[in-house]
Amino acid sequence: MLAILKRELRAYFLSPIGYIFMSLFLLVGGVLFAFGNLITLSSQYTGFLGSILFMFLLAVPVLTMRLFTDEMRMRTDQLLLTSPVRIVEIVLGKYLAALIVFFITMVITVFYAILVAIYGDLDTWQTVGGYIGFFLVGCSFISVGLFVSATTENQVIAAIVTFSALLLAWIMDAIQSGVPTDPTSGIIFAGVIALAVAAWIYFSTKNTYLGGAVLLLLAIVIALLAILDNGIFLGFIGKVLGWFSLLKRYQNFTRGLLRLDSVVYYLSFSGFFLFLTVRLIEKRRWS
């Protein structure tokens, strides 16, 4: 894994990608800090962190779009997949490389917090909590970008799809508040999820009987729950969509609240997309 990590870090800083990401992030961040804190003489630093959080939508696709697309485009993916390095190590090596570049960029912005502490009244624990949440959101967004980059060999497509996925996560709270909450809609949505799970199992295993058995089992479970207590499906769509709401949990950190459930959520979210990436690469390895 260390070999992959070093290789990817060199690729970031021997090509324009790493510098474009850092420059874009720091330039916009500097402008927002100047207008939000320096000119207004404001010590509310977590507001600055919240404002540059929007930069993830633009910066993360730049950071992650080449991670696997370059391998497929230059046909070096087969050499990588036939090497003695495990798929998990390949995925983690690429993920950690992107994470390190992001972390270095984030650490540079700590200079702004130091300025506020020297010339203003910095709320230390809110700032520390804000940075922890900021880093965890970055971990989650980068895991999405990594997964998307493993699905295509076109960097432009990878960047556009990653931006679209992150934008969807950004507005998830608004979508969640507008979906139906009645039990009937919840039952239908549960059926769609069951169908998607069965389809994923079928395409992963190419086993029609296994996919059909999973679909039948899930359909029976949904039917039994609907008969016994359909109130379970009240607001079900919103609850499911709420799992993809990355920003709502970030607010806890900006208040200086380091909640274990929020930390576990972000780590689970990142782990889920890393798992999907590993499964996708393994499938390609044996196809």
pLDDT digits (tens, 9 = 90+) for 256-287: 677 788 888 889 989 989 988 888 887 766 55
pLDDT at 76 (0 to 100): 61
pLDDT at 99 (0 to 100): 92
Taking only the tens place, the pLDDT of each residue in 244-258 is 777 777 877 777 677
pLDDT at 143 (0 to 100): 92
| Banded model confidence at residue 180, pLDDT cuts 50, 70, 90 | confident
Rounded to whole angstroms, the Cα distance separating 242 from 231 reads: 18
Residue spans of the domains in the chain: they are: 2-177+244-286, 182-234
**Pairwise pLDDT comparison (45 vs 111), residue with the higher score:** 111
pLDDT at position 133 over 80: yes
Question: Is the separation of the CB atoms in 238 and 181 below 8 Å?
Answer: yes
Terminal alpha carbon distance of the chain: 23
Question: Is the separation of the CB atoms in 138 and 109 below 8 Å?
Answer: no
Mean pLDDT confidence for 122-146: 86
Question: Is the separation of the CB atoms in 15 and 105 below 8 Å?
Answer: no
Question: Is the separation of the CB atoms in 90 and 4 below 8 Å?
Answer: yes
pLDDT at 204 (0 to 100): 67
Taking only the tens place, the pLDDT of each residue in 114-131 is 888 887 777 778 888 888
| Banded model confidence at residue 78, pLDDT cuts 50, 70, 90 | low
Q: How far is CA 230 from the centre of its chain?
A: 33
pLDDT at position 228 over 70: yes
Q: Is the overall model pTM greater than 0.75, yes or no? A: yes
